[in-house]
Amino acid sequence: MKKLVLIVAAILAAPIGATGDWVQDNMRWQEQQQQIQNRQQERVLGYSYGADNESIRKRVASEKAQAKRKRLDAALKELEIESSAVEDQYNAEKQRVIEKYTRILESINAE
C-alpha cells in the first residue's frame, strides 16, 4: 500500500514542475532580445540626434519602461492562464487516479 501511495504521489507531482522551467527560459530569452533591440535603438537615436540630448535619452528610457510594463503584464496574464490550465489538468488527473485506485481497493476488499 505504501508503494502505491508513493507511485500516486510521483505521478501527481510530475506535471507541475515541467512547465515552469520552459516559461522562465522563454521569458529570459524574450527579455534578452528586448535589451538587444533597446541598445540598438539607443545607438541609432544617439547618433542621429546627438548623444548629449537629454530629452531623447529620457524619452527612450520612458518608452523602454512602458514596453517592459506591457511585456510583463502580458507575461503575467499568460502565466495566470497557463497556471489555471495546469491546475485544472492536475486536478482532473488526480481525480482519475483516485477513482482508479478506489475501484482497485474496492475489488480487493470484495474478494
Radius of gyration of the chain (CA): 25
Number of domains, the chain? 1
Across the range 89-94, mean pLDDT stands at: 92
Q: Check if the beta carbon of residue 101 is closer than 8 Å to that of residue 8.
A: yes
Specify burial of residue 92 (Cβ count, 10 A radius: 0-12, 13-18, 19+).
exposed
Bigger pLDDT: 11 or 58? 58
**What domain range is 25 assigned to?**
2-110
pLDDT digits (tens, 9 = 90+) for 15-59: 555 555 677 777 888 888 888 888 777 766 665 555 566 777 788
The more confident residue out of 3 and 70 is 70
DSSP summary character for residue 99: H
Q: What does the pLDDT read at residue 93? A: 93
- Label residue 99 by pLDDT band (50, 70, 90): very high
